[in-house]
Structure 1
Amino acid sequence: MTETREFDFATLTPRERYKLLIGTVVPRPIAWVVTVDAAGRPNAAPYSFFNCLSADPAIVALGIEFRAGGAPKDTGRNIRETGCFTVNIVSDALVEAMNVCAVPFAPEVDELERAGLELLPGTAVASPRIARSPAALECRLHSFLEIGASREIVLGEVVHAHLHAGLVNDSLHVDPVALDAVGRMGGHGYARTRDRFDLPTMDAARFDSGDWPRRS
């Protein structure tokens, strides 16, 4: 039997739990979130505590950590004020620009301008999107989940999507090669999604037959 190490999360510090989780739950998709404040000024920040949770309704979730002093980050505050946000998918070509938007600039600094990014207006919400991002999801605030003193969970309903031409076919299948998304690993690590394979899901009859599909 494989030897294991055991960790009782009740005995770990928040930082220790964080390190185990981000190293284990990988790769995580990255939500490059664009919001605007009440005055219409844009803000962009990447979050890897992110995923889609439902298709009917279409719900995505963001985990947004509070600042060290307990104050909300600009993203969370802006979503509360305006009720909307846009999730932009990070392609490999945009990793460096995304990383600029993770710099903790002072509030008056425009990180989008520093990253050399152009914004396009939203179609269904007030929040704009990043023009170069291969896919963007416009979201209306569904609800906030208060889970503790360190982080808040935002649920957003996707109301409009933008995909670059050639990225999706008439059957609504998104080309993963053209999307070229990156994922977040532990520490400072990232992963490309270019190494992939297909493995069809079996029904019970095929499982019982022993004629199992093999990954391609």
Structure 2
Amino acid sequence: MYIDFSKLSPTQTYHTIIQTVIPRPIAWVLTENDNGSHNLAPFSFFAPVSSSPPILMISVGNKSENDKKDTARNIIEKKQCVVHIADQSLVEPMNASAQSLGYDESEIELLGLTTVEFEGSALPRLKAAPVAYACEFYEMKVIGDAPMSLLFLEIKHAYINDEIAQQGEDRLSIDAGKLDPLARLGGNDYSGLSESYTLERKP
């Protein structure tokens, strides 16, 4: 099958991409609303893009043509967020947190999730998430007709559950099987790590 993307609608393009660029990691992003409550939302257009400085990127669409989603609005205005990596045990609340709520309503309160203080961060982290990154807003690039806001986030601090991590002589080693991260497929499908293997890199 040959596909000419110039002949696809934005919806057709979206569904083609998300069903082939798989699996995708999920950024479960906590931000602060104007009333001090916390917004929580998942994004699978998400990737690490730099290690020096340590930068993550999430791509966030608008609610409507001129109305940004709460996550983007909060990050742009307050310059901070916490990006979580969820494991398989959190799939139900993670999926439920994608629902649309009014601004200043909290998914964390709605879903009964527990947060704890995050050292080095003005925002808390989700207690149950095995990985959390405290991030500051770095820059934004707006692309496309939709449009999409590419939010670049600089990692300032991280929490990693001790049960999945081991400090080596010169680097941290994370047990991917114990992390057991959620991954996004197409449609309403998700995946975990069914198998992993190691390949030596050619010199």
What TM-score results when the alignment is normalised by the length of structure 2? 0.93
Match of residue 165, structure 2, among 158, 165, 168: 168
Q: Post-superposition shift, 1:59?
A: 0.4
Give the superposition deviation at 1:45: 0.1
Shift of 1:108: 4.5
Identity %: 33
- How far is 1:90 from its partner? 1.1
Alignment of 1:8-87 (within 5 A): 8-87=4-83
Q: Which has the larger radius of gyration?
A: 1
Residues 1:153 and 2:172 aligned together: no
Superposed CA deviations along residues 105-156 of structure 1, whole A, max 9, x for unmatched, are 2334321122221112333332321110000011011000111332100000
CA contact (8 A) 2:39 2:104 kept: no
Instruction: Please list the CA deviations of residues 54-81 of structure 1 after superposition, one character each: whole Å capped at 9, or x if unmatched.
Output: 1111000000011134310000000011
Secondary structure in 2 aligned to 1:98? helix
Q: Helix, strand or coil: the match of 1:166?
A: helix
Larger CA deviation: 78-87 vs 98-107 = 98-107
- Return the letter of the residue paired with 2:195: D
Q: More displaced, 53-62 or 101-110?
A: 101-110
Gaps of 5+ in 2: none
Q: 2:89 matched to 1:93?
A: yes
- Whether the aligned pair in 2 keeps the contact of 1:35 and 1:128 (CA below 8 Å) is no
Aligned Cα root-mean-square deviation (Å):
1.3
Code of the residue aligned with 2:97 in structure 1: it is C
Cross-structure match for 1:198: 198
- Structure of greater relative contact order (alpha carbons < 8 Å, 6+ residues apart): 2
Q: Which residue of 1 aligns with 2:181?
A: 181
Letter in 2 for 1:200: E
SS of the counterpart of 2:3?
coil
More strand by share: 2
Which has the higher mean CA deviation after the structures are superposed, 6-15 or 48-57?
6-15
Contact 1:125 1:140 in 2 (8 A): no
5 Å matches for 1:113-152?
113-148=109-144, 149-152=146-149
Q: Which amino acid aligns with 1:143?
A: E
- Please state how far the C-alpha of 1:181 moved relative to its aligned partner: 0.3
TM-score normalized with structure 1 length: 0.88
How far does the alpha carbon of each residue in 1:162-209 deviate from its partner, in whole angstroms, 9 at most, with x for none? 011222111211111111101000111111114211111111xxxxxx
Q: Secondary structure at the match of 2:71?
A: helix
Is the 1:37–1:81 Cα contact (8 Å) retained in structure 2? no
